[in-house]
Structure 1
Amino acid sequence: MKIAIVSPQDSLKQAIPLFNEYKINYVSLLYDEHHSIIPMIKEYEDQVDGFLFTGVAPYQIAINSIDLSVPVEYVQHDITTLYRTLFNIRYVHNLNISQFSIDVFKTSEIKEVFEELELPFENIYMGEFNPLNSDEVTHYHMDLFQQGKVNFCITSFLTTYKKLKMEGIPCFRVVPSKFALRKTLELLILEITSLKKQEAQISVGIFNVDNIQSIMNNYSEYEVQSLKLKLYDLILKYGAASQSSVVFSGGDEFIIYSTTGRISKGLNDDQSNFLLEQIRKTIPMSVSYGIGEGLTANEATNNARIAVRRAKDEGGNCAFIRKINGTFMGPLQEPNEIEYISGYNEEIELIGKKVGISPATLSKIQVINKKIGKEIISANELSEYYGCSLRSARRLLSVLEKYDYATITSFDQPFSTGRPRRYYKLNF
């Protein structure tokens, strides 16, 4: 594991002992001016597993300018940092801490500290700023000092600190405490480790043509093969976006092999989010896409085939993931995408046999009800989240009510005409 520390010299001194303690390889990206940050990050992005910023300003500059592909964290100043700074000013520099300006902490945090120390804060000027606007911060402190309202200034901004020093204004710069650095470093290590574990898993994606028989009945053999080649080309581009290997297994099926991290990255890429939509617009084919995760290729392939069947059960032309723990996610890229567990549940199995509704459907109804965040659910809500017709949603809830697995709790008449909307409470 290798981490880049983006920091000025004073904060770096605090961070290096921690990296040595955790035995983490690091590279120091030192800066004096903010304009040098972006070139350094671009140079090292492919050489490190993550970035640790010791200040919020360089962090904001980086994430606003570059779409980083590795974990990134910045050290947030905590209350221990404020106590240490005030102690240093009072007892090392022998200054009265009753009249100063500060830009680092929230007003509520500063007031709380001064109340605990039983110190007055009537003459403490507390400003909260956009970390990218250092000029505004500098002028804030400078104006207060020139007006005689403060005796010194406290800032976390390196640029502001340098400018105030040049003007001869007493100024103290807040650097992260060892506690805050440790907490942030541990979080970054955890993120990097989790990402590496995720990418060690295997992902298999299976594309299966839904309407192949209809196509074969309406097109010549040459035209069918031509359509398959066009489909293969679209899937190859998708594979390139997710850095995956694509295999045409013959017939009506295409398979993608990758790591979990890479295939997920491909799903979130702008060029591949709308793959199924591109297929539908480009060629007269409907395709179901199932993604399976596993520790082995065989396990991932089995999960992918289960996910394909789940997509076809939804009517096709959609995508589902079956995770390593048996959880389903889907339909992917839909506004009402939900995650639910499909596996043996004795209670659900018994209810399903009794009422004539599949256990998978019952599980999905449960999850939809939880996602809505209310104790009751209407047929309209079930239809919207499940993706089924309103008539089907009414039938499902009516069957559950018939067998006492749902109870009508209230009615609503949103329009002056039409049947009233029923709300059900699930009893399973």
Structure 2
Amino acid sequence: MHNSIKIGVIGPPAIVEVIRETLRSFPNFSPVIRASNRIGDAPVFAAEIMGQVEVLLFSGYYPYKIAKEQVSFTVPVHYIPLTGTGLYRSLFRMYRSGKIGGLSIDLLANQAVEKVLAELGVPASGMHYYDGVPYRLEDMIQFHLQTYQQGKSAGALTGVKAVADELTRRNVPNEWVIPTAQDISVSLERALLSTEKRRNKESQIVFGLIQIDDYNQLLERSHSEHDVQKVKLEIHRLFLDYAGCLDGHLTSLGGDEYMFVTTRGIFERETRGYKFIPILIDAKRSLGVSLSIGIGFGQTANEAGTHARLALRQAKEFGGDICFIVREDRSVIGPVEMAHPMVYELSVTDEELLMRAEKAGMTASYMSKLMAQVSRLGKMEYTAQELASILGVTLRSSHRILLQWLDAELVEIVGVEKISSKGRPRQVYRLSFVDELEKVR
């Protein structure tokens, strides 16, 4: 089917067959199945088929956990949890065989088991729960074995097939609690929803605003009107080629500003996951100009356009020759052209801190600039001269602002910096308000 969604299914053959049968009710899914009773195969299978599918589904938490530790997932990943329905079935089988008097149980929450037992009218006093390291198979096997040999239980309930197989080999009555068709259906619905969200996000409208830095100076360097028009034409051609790479639409907003529209999926692929904006390099190499670029994501075109303007403002405040992205949740990614783009909140939402900051003259703009600087450099300590440069104010204003922030306990003096034998030492300030924000988050 052209519109089918490829889903990778990984688990033991017994569960995979149930999943395969349940998938008949999900015509949108085209399964790629890997089945094995060896738990160690889960990460191998995941790495093998991840590039072929849009979503992965594991038969349970254990194979999912092992795969997650070894594989970096690039698609949505789900596992089928053990819920009440599978527990009902296993308890019923144990009850029918007369083994319900006392049980040893692993990987199932006490509350879930006791709730089911209460509904079945079975006493919960004889239940023994494994509380060791999760998924350490040998420990789990020993727990069930000892509980049974000591006469504390009549059998075991386990969520791991390898444990069930070993207990069977040692003649310990047991039930492997596996998900039911209902559990599988719920997990498949969640998997379907995640891929649809992903597809919707891929087709999301992206607005980009490009502003030419020092545009007037660029034109002034031209010797004639002919040269001016030639420069404008070259710039327009460069932007048009870039929009073509994005399968986008370019519009000149007049003068030094252009806008392009594309989709998020294409933009993510062309930027290699928000790491590379080739037009910044091309503009410098071919025309000797630097650009400020703001990219906006949003649920609507209006929202994306607003966020693009906010992102452009961030790029200009950073000094230009850079790109920033504002996402739909108003978080910021950038600078994109750097090796390790930072991600930070565009606005601070801690009301108490904002009130203190506002009284001390620390505007939201100042706060965002400082947080961006900390995110980019990992540096918390600055001199008044450095802060003046970051905030775009005079040194005198920087000293005045710092006195207010000291009084409000937003910054603290942590030392001095001696720059020369004759120069006066500079005080070094720590941005202690950033520590408060980290605690809140």
TM-score by length of 2: 0.62
Could you tell me which runs of 5 or more consecutive residues in structure 2 were left unpaired when the two chains were aligned. Answer: 222-230, 232-237, 335-340, 371-390, 398-406, 414-441
What is the percent sequence identity of the aligned residues?
21
- 2:424 equivalent in structure 1: none
- Structure 2 residue matching 1:125: 3-state secondary structure: strand
- CA separation of 1:170/1:244 partners in 2, compared to 1, >3 Å: closer, same or farther? farther
Q: Provide the C-alpha distance between the structure 2 equivalents of 1:174 and 1:266, rounded to a whole number of angstroms.
A: 46
Q: Provide the C-alpha distance between the structure 1 equivalents of 2:410 and 2:303, rounded to a whole number of angstroms.
A: 47
- CA separation of 1:258/1:147 partners in 2, compared to 1, >3 Å: closer, same or farther? farther
- 2:122 equivalent in structure 1: 119
- 2:178 equivalent in structure 1: 175
- Structure 1 residue matching 2:355: 3-state secondary structure: strand
Listed one character per residue, the Cα deviations across residues 190-246 of structure 1 (whole Å, up to 9, x for unaligned) are 01011112212354655655457779999xxxxxx9xxxxxx9xxx9xx9xxx9689
The Cα shift of 1:165 comes to: 1.3
2:264 aligned residue (244, 260, 263) = 260
2:332 aligned residue (324, 330, 333) = 330
Within the alignment, does 1:67 sit opposite 2:64 as a pair?
Answer: no
User: Is contact 2:103-2:128 (8 Å) kept?
Assistant: yes
Within the alignment, does 1:10 sit opposite 2:14 as a pair?
Answer: yes
- Structure 2 residue matching 1:101: 3-state secondary structure: strand
Listed one character per residue, the Cα deviations across residues 164-194 of structure 1 (whole Å, up to 9, x for unaligned) are 1111211110111222211111011001011
Number of residue pairs matched by the alignment: 348
* Aligned-CA RMSD value: 4.9
Listed one character per residue, the Cα deviations across residues 282-336 of structure 1 (whole Å, up to 9, x for unaligned) are xx9975331145899x99996786355433564544644466x8x7543645564
Listed one character per residue, the Cα deviations across residues 257-283 of structure 1 (whole Å, up to 9, x for unaligned) are 86413545787959659x99xx9xxxx
1:372 aligned residue (350, 362, 375) = 350
Structure 1 counterpart of 2:140, one-letter code = V
The Cα shift of 1:117 comes to: 4.2
The Cα shift of 1:119 comes to: 3.3
Q: Provide the C-alpha distance between the structure 2 equivalents of 1:128 and 1:213, rounded to a whole number of angstroms.
A: 71
Q: Provide the C-alpha distance between the structure 1 equivalents of 2:42 and 2:272, rounded to a whole number of angstroms.
A: 27
The Cα shift of 1:44 comes to: 1.6
Q: Provide the C-alpha distance between the structure 2 equivalents of 1:83 and 1:213, rounded to a whole number of angstroms.
A: 75
Structure 2 counterpart of 1:11, one-letter code = I
Within the alignment, does 1:146 sit opposite 2:149 as a pair?
Answer: yes
What aligned pairs does 1:260-409 form with structure 2 within 5 A after superposition? 260-261=264-265, 263-264=267-268, 288-293=292-297, 306-307=309-310, 309-312=312-315, 314-317=317-320, 319-321=323-325, 328-330=330-332, 332=334, 334=342, 336-338=344-346, 368=348, 371-374=349-352, 377-378=355-356, 379=358, 380=362, 382=364, 385-387=367-369
- CA separation of 1:108/1:312 partners in 2, compared to 1, >3 Å: closer, same or farther? same
The Cα shift of 1:16 comes to: 2.4
Listed one character per residue, the Cα deviations across residues 347-401 of structure 1 (whole Å, up to 9, x for unaligned) are xxxxxxxxxxxxxxxxxxxx64xx2155962224746643375999xx9xxxxxx
Structure 2 counterpart of 1:12, one-letter code = V
1:189 aligned residue (177, 186, 192) = 192
- CA separation of 1:267/1:160 partners in 2, compared to 1, >3 Å: closer, same or farther? farther
2:51 aligned residue (46, 51, 61) = 46
Structure 2 counterpart of 1:162, one-letter code = D
TM-score by length of 1: 0.63
Q: Provide the C-alpha distance between the structure 2 equivalents of 1:210 and 1:377, rounded to a whole number of angstroms.
A: 35
- CA separation of 1:336/1:67 partners in 2, compared to 1, >3 Å: closer, same or farther? closer
- CA separation of 1:376/1:47 partners in 2, compared to 1, >3 Å: closer, same or farther? closer
Could you tell me which runs of 5 or more consecutive residues in structure 1 were left unpaired when the two chains were aligned. Answer: 219-224, 226-231, 339-366, 396-410, 418-428
- 1:100 equivalent in structure 2: 103
- CA separation of 1:252/1:13 partners in 2, compared to 1, >3 Å: closer, same or farther? same
